[in-house]
Amino acid sequence: MNRATDTPRADNAMQIIDAETVRRRLTYALCIPLVRAAMTAFSAGRTRQLLRSIIPLGDGHMFGIMPGALGDDGVFGAKLVSVYPENFAKGRPSHQGVVVLFDPATGAPTCVADAGAITAIRTAAASAVATEALARDDAGRLAVLGYGEQAAGHIRAIALVRSVTEVRVWGRDAVRAEAFAAEMTAATGLPVVAAPSVQAAVDGADIVCTCTNAAEPILLGRWLTPGVHVNLVGSSVAGPVEVDDDLVAMSRFIVDSRAGVLTQGAEFLRAKATGRIGDDHIAGEIGEVLSGAIAGRESREQVTVYKSLGHIVQDLAAASAIRQGADRAALASSKASVKSLRGCGD
């Protein structure tokens, strides 16, 4: 098996694309339209996928399996990923695994790509897609809860779809939050400041992204400003919730997958269990908003929510683009090598 490098590879060789290569090639500018197209196709029924299977492991760890296909004749494959939340404190990714691609023409596996890096980028890209579709056009004040890889990705991605004027971040460790804010200010040029509390972070915010591993609500609906858009990102399984029932009930609730949220959307399921909402509270899928099948934001004062679970079609679209980019790089390198060799013989 060949790593994704700038050297030619045999047509039947499987590429191994590491995290560094993913981060270099899968920019947010590339990934946002990929996710937009994937979710539009998903809601139109043009893709194939099963609900993710999650195997609980010891000490709060999980192993997830996500199979799918980009249409009947499209790339297909699966993501295999472990979730170890404590890794963040140790400087390692909490999500680790691989995305495996198969050739639709031959059925052969063609690519194994780092799932942690793909997940981090495509998740933030999905929130950017939802923000572009649901947030007010003049939304510029961004609040991000969390200071990990997802928080950083969301700041970068949201800034591509809205003119962000200020960013407030919050995390449980004030020292780390301050350091994160300084790091992101230097990296993005945006004015990023650490807030002393969640309430202070979201006060007056136009866009809120929850990117934490909170097991119980940290964000309350009564703290939000009318017209805000909220991306719920941190919880991807039934159980841990980041926001209270009030926030869910008061919002126009848009999801990435209706079937997924009905079985694994923790915030939705908790509000439903208390009798605050029913299944019809799901206004629709983001792919339906993108296609124009349903309305997104209905008024300037409306609170909109996008519940993100993440789906294999996003991973497959991202991995396929990276693989194609690696093929183009290899071809360019090959041509350059041939040209160089010809020059040596002159």
CB distance 17 to 319 below 8 Å? yes
| Strand residue runs (E) in 70-189 | 76-83, 95-102, 109-114, 141-145, 166-170
Number of domains in the chain: 2
Q: Is 329 within the bounds of a domain?
A: no
How far is residue 222's CA from residue 31's CA, in Å, rounded to a whole number? 34
pLDDT score of 199: 98
Q: Are residues 156 and 257 in the same domain?
A: yes
Q: β-pairing, 207-210 with 192-194? A: unpaired
The boundaries of the domain holding residue 109 are 2-118+312-323
pLDDT score of 268: 96
Q: Is 45 within the bounds of a domain?
A: yes
Task: Give the domain CATH number at 66.
Answer: 3.30.1780.10
Closest among 182, 128, 178 to 156, alpha carbons compared: 128
Q: Are residues 155 and 57 in the same domain?
A: no
49 membership: H or E segment, kind and range? strand 48-49
Task: Give the domain CATH number at 228.
Answer: 3.40.50.720
How far is residue 126's CA from residue 131's CA, in Å, rounded to a whole number? 9
Q: Is 21 within the bounds of a domain?
A: yes
Q: Are residues 191 and 271 in the same domain?
A: yes
> Among all chains, which residue has been given the structure tokens 């929510």?
305
pTM for the model: 0.88
pLDDT score of 326: 55
Q: Are residues 319 and 300 in the same domain?
A: no
pLDDT in tens, the chain (346 residues): 445 544 434 455 789 999 999 999 999 999 999 999 999 999 999 999 998 888 989 888 989 999 999 988 899 999 999 988 888 778 787 789 999 999 999 999 999 999 999 999 999 999 999 999 999 999 999 999 999 999 999 999 999 999 999 999 999 999 999 999 999 999 999 999 999 999 999 999 999 999 998 889 999 999 999 999 999 998 777 678 999 999 999 999 999 999 999 999 999 999 999 999 999 999 999 999 999 999 999 999 999 999 999 899 999 999 999 998 755 544 343 344 334 334 444 3
Q: Is 167 within the bounds of a domain?
A: yes
Q: β-pairing, 192-194 with 252-255? A: unpaired
How crowded is the C-beta side of 313, counted as CA atoms within 13 Å?
A: 27
pLDDT score of 234: 82
pLDDT score of 339: 42
Q: Are residues 170 and 76 in the same domain?
A: no
Q: Is 125 within the bounds of a domain?
A: no
Q: Are residues 192 and 146 in the same domain?
A: yes
Q: Are residues 69 and 106 in the same domain?
A: yes
> Among all chains, which residue has been given the structure tokens 């206004």?
283
Residue 107 corresponds to which tokens in the numbers above? 């059925």
Q: Is 214 within the bounds of a domain?
A: yes
pLDDT score of 219: 97
Q: Are residues 11 and 99 in the same domain?
A: yes
How far is residue 193's CA from residue 87's CA, in Å, rounded to a whole number? 25
Q: Is 52 within the bounds of a domain?
A: yes
pLDDT score of 239: 74
